[in-house]
């Protein structure tokens, strides 16, 4: 059984005088352990889709099943449990507590779950080790770089061991190189068995993901290996876009210095 089944999902925002068709007929599935990029231009419906997958919003039509359960049939309490227990969210703007250290930020979701202080500390330390921030645990967000802040946010999402990691434009506030590093970290988390959905409007990041789904105007227009989906998109845009994508891929694969 797939972890995620999107069964002819339609989402229309009703603004009274007008209706905005954000998702028109989204139909695909994601298995446990997959790493999928959702790529598309601004306004194509990526965040709307992520909000539905993350149980923050419900579709207007169609069914969303998570682990075989129809999310539309869950009560508000059950939905809150799914969000808290099964999903780790990572946002563009990090959303860290400014006065708390990296360690305290990562511990926070465990406090809400009543995990003992000792276990909280151990699990937060372990999560910060995974994102390679063991040497920054007592730093506050303002004392960290953008890439390090996003790593703290990823550790905070990992610390609860969710069945699904959802990242909506996590590289949007980062420079290009740091964005590549964050994608590399997701690739490593995927190798360790995590299920990850990464929203990005950057085809060169989608190109590095095992699978990419391309959305245009609320419709899936391509679904396949990340590299193929990104290349098809670049080809549609012309020779310059193809050259840019190839150059970015070469740069990403080149040995790192420093
Ligand atoms: N809460 C909302 N109310 C009305 N329209 C919305 C709302 N959220 C998004 N939209 C519209 O739905 C479409 C898809 O938006 P969104 O999912 O945020 O796209 P993306 O994340 O790909 O940039 C856009 O036309 C956007 O203006
Ligand atoms: Mg968005």
- pLDDT 10s digits, 3-18: 999 999 999 999 999 9
The reply to whether 56 falls in a domain is yes
Distance (Å, rounded) from C-alpha 102 to C-alpha 107?
A: 9
Residue range 123-159, pLDDT digits in tens: 999 999 999 999 999 999 999 999 999 999 999 999 9
For residue 66, the enclosing domain spans: 4-253
Chain-centroid distance of CA 203 in Å reads 15
pLDDT averaged over the chain? 94
Judged against a pLDDT cut of 60, whether residue 258 lies above it is answered with no
The reply to whether 258 falls in a domain is no
Whether residue 133 contacts residue 151, with contact meaning beta carbons closer than 8 Å, is answered with yes
Token duo for residue 175: 């420079």
Residue range 165-199, pLDDT digits in tens: 999 999 999 999 999 999 999 999 999 999 999 99
Chain-centroid distance of CA 77 in Å reads 24
Pocket test for ligand 1, best of 12, 16, 22 (most atoms within 8 A of CB): 22
User: Is 200 touching ligand 1 by the criterion CB < 6 Å?
Assistant: no
Question: Which pLDDT value is given to residue 236?
Answer: 81
Whether residue 53 contacts residue 4, with contact meaning beta carbons closer than 8 Å, is answered with yes
The reply to whether 219 falls in a domain is yes
User: Is 45 touching ligand 1 by the criterion CB < 6 Å?
Assistant: yes
Backbone dihedral angles phi then psi of residue 67, each to the nearest 5 degrees: 55, 35
The reply to whether 127 falls in a domain is yes
The total number of structural domains in the chain stands at 1
Q: What is the mean pLDDT of residues 87-116?
A: 95
Q: What is the β-pairing status of strands 164-168 and 196-200?
A: parallel
Question: Which pLDDT value is given to residue 256?
Answer: 64
In the numeric block, the tokens 């290996």 are attached to 225
In the numeric block, the tokens 């946002």 are attached to 91
Token duo for residue 83: 């969000």
Judged against a pLDDT cut of 50, whether residue 163 lies above it is answered with yes
The reply to whether 166 falls in a domain is yes
Atom of ligand 1 nearest to the CA of 168: 21
CB under 8 Å, gap of 24 or more: what pairs does 73-82 form? Answer: 79/55, 82/55
The reply to whether 51 falls in a domain is yes
Angle at Cα 43 formed by Cα 85 and Cα 19, nearest 5°?
A: 95
The reply to whether 9 falls in a domain is yes
Q: What is the mean pLDDT of residues 250-254?
A: 79
Q: What is the CATH number of the domain that holds 208?
A: 3.40.50.300
The reply to whether 155 falls in a domain is yes
Q: Transcribe the chain into DSSP letters.
A: --SEEEEEEEEEEE-SS-EEEEEEEEEEEE-TT-EEEEE--TTSSHHHHHHHHTTSS--SEEEEEETTEEGGGS-HHHHHHHHHHHEEEEETT----TTS-HHHHHHHHHHHTT--HHHHHHHHHHHHHHTT-GGGTT--GGGS-HHHHHHHHHHHHHTT--SEEEEESTTTTS-HHHHHHHHHHHHHHHHTT--EEEEES-HHHHTTSSEEEEEETTEEEEEE-HHHHHHHHHHHH-HHHHHHHHHHHHHHHSPP--
Global pTM reads 0.94
Q: Is 119 exposed, middle or buried (0-12, 13-18, 19+ CB in 10 A)?
A: exposed
Query: Using CA positions, which residue lies closest to atom 26 of ligand 1?
Result: 43
Residue range 20-37, pLDDT digits in tens: 999 999 999 999 999 999
User: Is 48 touching ligand 1 by the criterion CB < 6 Å?
Assistant: yes
């Amino acid at each position: 059984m797939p972890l995620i089944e999107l069964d002819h999902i339609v989402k229309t925002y009703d603004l009274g005088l007008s209706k905005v068709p954000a998702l028109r007929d989204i139909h695909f599935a994601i298995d446990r352990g997959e790493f999928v990029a959702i790529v598309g231009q601004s306004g194509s419906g990526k965040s709307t889709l992520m909000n539905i997958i993350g149980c923050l919003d419900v579709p207007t039509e169609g069914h969303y099943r998570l682990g075989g359960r129809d999310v539309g049939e869950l009560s508000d309490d059950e939905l809150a449990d799914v969000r808290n227990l099964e999903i780790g969210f990572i946002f563009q703007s990090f959303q860290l507590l400014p006065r708390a250290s990296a360690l305290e930020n990562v511990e926070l979701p465990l406090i809400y779950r009543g995990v003992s202080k000792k276990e909280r500390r151990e699990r937060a330390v372990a999560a910060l080790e995974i994102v390679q921030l063991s040497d920054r645990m007592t730093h506050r967000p303002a004392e960290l770089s953008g890439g390090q802040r996003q790593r703290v946010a990823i550790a905070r999402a990992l610390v609860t061991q969710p069945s699904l990691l959802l990242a909506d434009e996590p590289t949007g506030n980062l420079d290009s190189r740091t964005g590549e590093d964050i994608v590399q970290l997701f690739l490593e988390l995927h190798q360790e068995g995590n299920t990850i959905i990464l929203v990005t409007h950057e085809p060169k990041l989608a190109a590095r993901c095992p699978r990419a789904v391309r959305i245009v105007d609320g419709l899936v227009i391509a679904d396949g290996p990340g590299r193929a989906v990104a290349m098809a998109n670049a080809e549609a845009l012309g020779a310059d876009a193809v050259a840019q994508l190839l150059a970015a891929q070469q740069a990403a694969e080149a040995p790192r210095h420093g």
